[in-house]
A and B are shown apart, each in its own frame.
Chain A
Amino acid sequence: MSLDHTAAGQTGELPKRAEGDGPAAVSLDALEAGRHARVAAVRGSGAVARRLMEMGVVPGAPVRVIKAAPLGDPLEVRVRNYHLALRRSEAQTISVVLSTED
């Protein structure tokens, strides 16, 4: 499946959901496909970060990686009930925390 390698970001492993001591954030490009998460922060700046936020990628928004394109990049991401394609380089600037259902 094309989904497996989406988790293999630089972090190598996914942080576990740490109940109690605050959720650990992970960047969106390292999020395993199919896992529900919420945006924790948009770390980028400039026009791209602004455009992402205008399109609803703001802290608290539900996100989920659907799949990667055949060549591994870009990613198809579900945000606020619609689907968005963005490159890994953009996804890296978005921190998410795992959540249950959107």
Chain B
Amino acid sequence: MSSILESPPQAGAPAGADAETRQLVVALAGNPNAGKTSIFNALTGLRQKVANYPGVTVERKEGLWALDAEQTPARLVDLPGLYSLDAASIDEEIARDILTGRVEGVPAPDVVVAVVDATNLERNLYLVTQLLEAGRPVVIALSMVDLAERSKLEIDAERLSDLLGVPVVPVTAKSRRGLDELGRVVLGAVGSPPPCALWKMSPKAEAEVRRLYAAGAASREEALRDLYAEGLPEDAELREAVEQARARLSSSDPQWWQEPLTARYRWIEEVTAGAVRGAKNMRPGSTERIDRLVTHRFFGPVLLLLVMAVVFQAIFSWATLPMDLIDRGFGALGEAIRAQMPAGLLTDLVVDGVIAGVGGVLVFLPQILLLFFFIALLEDSGYMSRAAFLVDRLMRGVGLHGKAFMPLLSSFACAIPGIMATRTIENPKDRLATILIAPFMSCSARLPVYTLMIAAFFTDVRLFGFVPVAVVIMLSMYLLGIVVAIVVAWVLKHTILKAPPPPLVLELPPYRVPNLVNVLYTMRNRSWLFVKRAGTVILTISILLWALMTFPRSEAKPVPDAQEGAAVQAMRETGVEGRGEPAPLTAKSEGDTADEGAQLQQSYAGRLGHVIEPFIAPLGFDWKMGIGLIASFAARETIVSTLSIVYNVGKEADAESPSLIDAVRNAKRPDGSPAWTPLVAVSMMVFFVLACQCMSTVAVVRRETNSWRWPLFMVAYMLVIAYVASFVTYQGGKLLGLS
């Protein structure tokens, strides 16, 4: 097992390939907050890539590490941050599978580098005891030694190495101290298995372990794991032996299962007593002082609100400019391509399907980058766990975990990064509940819809003569989302996701100045995952939507509705783009708006609009709005451009464009009554608050839950809630005599 010859040279290569070309595989393990990420980044630099482990959503990070000047780089596999290897969470399961070579494409590591926080030695060494038992060669990278020295904590690395039986290298990632030595030591450790059985339990427990070993367990370590694991081994004979051993142990001590845990710590205490001298209180005084304010009864929550406000403000205001630029860039690219390529279906597909689809994804990138920047900053500094500490009691009220707070907060900007941020929640049910309610938070894509509705019907209206109704309505929409989310969370946690309230065992690490390099790497890696994976699904659906709105083609050009706005719009476009060109040509290449309106009406999307009209009529919507609704299931804000097409005011109209607002105000039903009323507008907004109209969200949920079941469930249940709420709004409003 310990021979490096068993390690295939590359991912996917068969075992036993040419030993000369083999590449060493090194695993990097350590507690959360032990400084593992900094060391990983310092060792691999930009030569790293991130993917997901098959079937789960644990981030898989890997890079190349040049162990010394001559050696070809080793594959450095970054394990998730862990406290133990006992497979309580997905992270721990993955880590154990990697260490034992059970993950496809990752051979069992030749060496395991255990990152150990020098300022928190005892708890960090617990994982080390388990890594030693895993049987692969171990090298300890003692991190935070600069901090330890500053606090007058003396750790005798040589003595520690003697006591543990494996090499110990003090390192500081920032100054690159000890990194070269670490590489050399890792190279030297290849093929030298760690010492085993360093700690002992009571004679009685040890006897049971020996008995299991004799009964067929592969090794003492296996026997120990079988005996004390939560489950039972698969082998029937062994299973019986384990059950009997447990029965014997529990008869004399009901807490028999605690023995290996206690014994490991007893051994750790002996080790640290031998190798550590100096300061008892390792916590920096600055952390104590900061916490006096940050988790203060009154100032703590105030500060949290302030942090939230700053993050929000940044996401909404700083992201606008790059978002506009991306939007315009893709618009210009589309125009350029349209000008170059011959007019026709292919051009339409490329411009309206592919480019508009890709642009629709990338337009969210600035917000996602900014949000990930703040999340990484808050995580890296240590503030995130304080936020969870502050709000845990509130979140528990609806059955959620304190850690659900930040993902939900993020979802006000965009549900996608919010859903991705739920990864910090260990319990799958808590995580799923958080994912399922995240899209209720009013994201920035709803703003164009709110803005259009409010601009059309509620400007200059004041409540009690001084409160602008626009503000009240906007706030109500945000509140509605929050209230429904709370109710749904409560229901989910009491029905399909029923589970005892999630336990909170959360480390509050010392505050650290965030490492900007780590923050930037995190931003880069997470955003790339978003663009790559969500992008493929979104692209597919965009093309589908384009097809729905394009086919069937009308052979003879229908006579456009003689609407003045449309004509003016068409003329303006002609004037700008094709001065002096014959009109029909321009109309064809530019996409005459009146023409588009007619085309849309008879397309599959238009027909669908007619088909769903009976269903949406009780909500106050007609078939034209229906087309907007259908299109908005790609992304909410598309309803604005779709309505522009439907009402023949040109695609480029935005939410504040006067022509669109006028068109909405003046739109008529066949009987001549106005299609939109303030009540219809409110009903529409309510629908947009509650329905899951965002294929990016669906794609991300699909990826994060690794099945279509949950995203489809989410779309369905949110649609039902949105429908019922809109129905109640519209019909209730009518009963009350509103219009």
Binding site for B on A (CB under 8 A): 2, 41-43, 45, 47-48, 50-56, 58-61, 67, 69-74, 76, 78-87, 89-90, 101-102
Contacts and interface: CB of A to CB of B under 8 A. Distances in A.
B282 interface: yes
Q: Which of B291, B301, B393 has the most CB of A within 10 A?
A: B393
A93 to B, nearest CB: 10
Contact of B86 (A52, A54, A70): A54
Q: Which 9 A-B pairs have the closest CB atoms?
A: A71-B393, A83-B508, A53-B261, A54-B84, A48-B503, A85-B506, A2-B297, A56-B123, A85-B389
Given A42-B258, A69-B392, A70-B297, A85 B86 contact: no
A90 B402 CA distance: 15
Given A54-B84, A70-B390, A73-B393, A86 B258 contact: no
B84 A82 contact: no
A2 B390 CA distance: 13
A89 B389 CA distance: 15
B281 interface: yes
Contacts of A76: 291, 295, 389, 508
Contacts of B122: 56, 80-81
Contacts of A53: 258, 261-262
14 contacts: A55-B507, A58-B265, A70-B297, A74-B506, A80-B122, A80-B123, A81-B281, A82-B123, A84-B505, A85-B506, A85-B508, A87-B396, A89-B503, A101-B280
B88 A85 contact: no
B88 A58 contact: no
B444 interface: no
Interface residues of B, number: 46
Interface string B229-260: 01000000000000000000000000101100
Contacts of A43: 255
Given A58-B258, A81-B280, A69 B393 contact: yes
Contact of B120 (A45, A74, A81, A102): A81
Among A41, A51, A72, A85, the one with the most B-chain Cβ atoms within 10 Å of its Cβ is: A85
B298 interface: yes
B126 interface: yes
Given A58-B265, A61-B265, A85 B392 contact: yes
A3 to B, nearest CB: 10
B504 interface: yes
B392 A82 contact: no
Nearest to A54: B84
B120 A69 contact: no
A34 to B, nearest CB: 13
A57 to B, nearest CB: 9
A83 B265 CA distance: 17
A70 B388 contact: no
B385 interface: yes
A58 B505 contact: no
A51 B83 CA distance: 8
B394 interface: yes
B283 interface: yes
A101 B508 CA distance: 22
Contacts of B86: 50, 54
Question: Quick one: which of A72, A78, A80, A101 has the most chain B CB within 10 A?
Answer: A80
Given A69-B392, A70-B390, A84 B508 contact: yes
Contacts of B283: 78, 81-83
A59 B389 contact: no
B678 interface: no
A101 B385 CA distance: 27
A74 B262 contact: no
A47 B189 CA distance: 35
B390 A48 contact: no
Contacts of A72: 393
Nearest to B263: A58
B505 A69 contact: no
B297 A90 contact: no
B165 interface: no
Interface string B494-511: 000000010111111100
Interface in B347-405: 385, 388-390, 392-394, 396, 402
B262 A58 contact: yes
A43 B301 CA distance: 33
Contacts of B507: 55, 82-85
